Chain A
């Protein structure tokens, strides 16, 4: 029996610092994934081509969109890996309860999301410089990016990463809670592409696959405040369910 007690915040801080150190390799994997995404973006994140007369014109659009998408997948996988048994058991090397382990995981995922969001957005500048100065492409259009827009982009990218990582954390915890979710979750994701979702606005009624409706729920929100509220609500729900599930799982002996 331990004679000394440790405060909740100190315990979480210790676990968080331990995770930052122990999982530092995951940042290396983020770097590798972003470099691969950058290489794949060298021909443009999208292209449009026309042939008129004897003139063939191709417009390559350069942005960090592919890097952002790859980073989101990385955030999803990183979150899932935190819920696996070896990672969960590693927490109990230090003094930890389900609650402190859970909260330190959330803090770690928030940090990882921030790193992914910032680096993904900054990589766009590297890509654009390579396109113009190394690939010597003539620039048909460029939107001057004020610092305020860059900061906005970083914030939104981070929020997307936080959202995706919380979804990954929930998916991982569900599969740990019951193995059948290994089949159910991918099946559910596929089913969402086929389930019709009908939205009714002021003028018309539109039907679309539920997955598209889910993307539009976040992707077509033009108010930053509403977007942040939507993301935070979803994140809270995901982490709430995850905490509930983890507290009902068998206790480490």
Chain B
């Protein structure tokens, strides 16, 4: 961190602290200006607040919020391994190197055409790689696998929140589309006054791991593929089933 960044962070922290300090002093003054003969009002306000807090504790323990079940619990090392495995498979043109556990969805289509057009109506940028694996055997079946490795965000595996792409064969056109999703998730964490004594220091390291995803399209030998210009594809012509 350079000196300018450090100074800016310090200045912002200082300004925030000064603002909170001034606001707190102002609230104190406002509270002291309240009429002194309204003890019932004070008691009502304070009692109501205390009751609300106690009620919140009781309700929280009675109706504990359900945690979204995370299907897998993965370490940073496993996530890293899965990530590098994918690129190794592309580099060596060997799909057998991929972990089949990460294939989340498979679509199979039959076609009578000799040519296949691959299009994506999605306008936004997609991080999903499109991998074309052309078989040395003839046939009329097109198989599409959606492969996604674990995505870890601040220590939580969020892979399951990613929706599957839409894959559809219409005549001689294979359409792929990615849904737009805006997700807001809550992490109900403990306060620092508890974390300081309860959590082990190594658990306090939240790591981030961007996974990788791919649509692997398995084509028979006799099918010619035409890909829209905006879709970057990786070809794999050997070592695959």
Contacts and interface: CB of A to CB of B under 8 A. Distances in A.
Interface of A: 24-29, 31-33, 36, 44-45, 48, 50, 52-65, 68-70, 73-74, 77-78, 81, 119, 121-126, 128-129, 131-133, 135, 137-145, 149-150, 152-153, 156-157, 160, 190, 193, 219-224, 227
Nearest to A24: B42
Contacts of A25: 31-32, 34, 42
Contacts of A28: 31, 34, 42, 45-46
Interface-centre pick from A48, A73, A140 (highest chain B CB count, 10 A): A140
Interface in B146-163: 151, 153-154, 156, 158, 161-163
Interface residues of B, number: 69
A53 B213 contact: yes
A145 B194 CA distance: 10
Contact of A68 (B31, B158, B192, B201): B192
A132 B186 contact: yes
B151 A54 contact: no
Contact of B162 (A53, A81, A123): A53
26 contacts: A25-B42, A29-B31, A29-B32, A33-B24, A36-B27, A52-B210, A53-B213, A54-B179, A59-B158, A59-B186, A60-B185, A62-B186, A65-B192, A77-B28, A124-B191, A126-B53, A128-B188, A129-B59, A129-B60, A138-B183, A141-B189, A145-B190, A145-B194, A153-B194, A222-B196, A223-B197
A222 B156 contact: no
Contacts of A121: 191, 193
Interface in B166-214: 178-194, 196-198, 201, 208, 210, 213
Nearest to B158: A57
Nearest to B57: A125
B64 A144 contact: yes
B23 A59 contact: no
B25 to A, nearest CB: 6
A34 to B, nearest CB: 8
Interface in B16-51: 17, 20-21, 23-25, 27-28, 30-32, 34, 42, 45-46, 49-50
A224 B185 CA distance: 33
Contact of B197 (A44, A70, A224): A224
B60 A222 contact: no
Contact of A157 (B24, B70, B122, B191): B191
A129 B32 CA distance: 31
Contacts of A142: 64-65, 67, 187-188
B128 to A, nearest CB: 6
Contacts of B21: 73, 77
B188 A54 contact: no
A32 B31 contact: yes
B74 interface: no
B66 interface: yes
A156 B68 contact: no
A231 B32 CA distance: 30
A143 B193 contact: no
Nearest to A71: B24
Nearest to B179: A54
Given A63-B191, A64-B191, A74 B178 contact: no
Contact of A54 (B28, B68, B124, B194): B124
Contacts of A137: 184-186
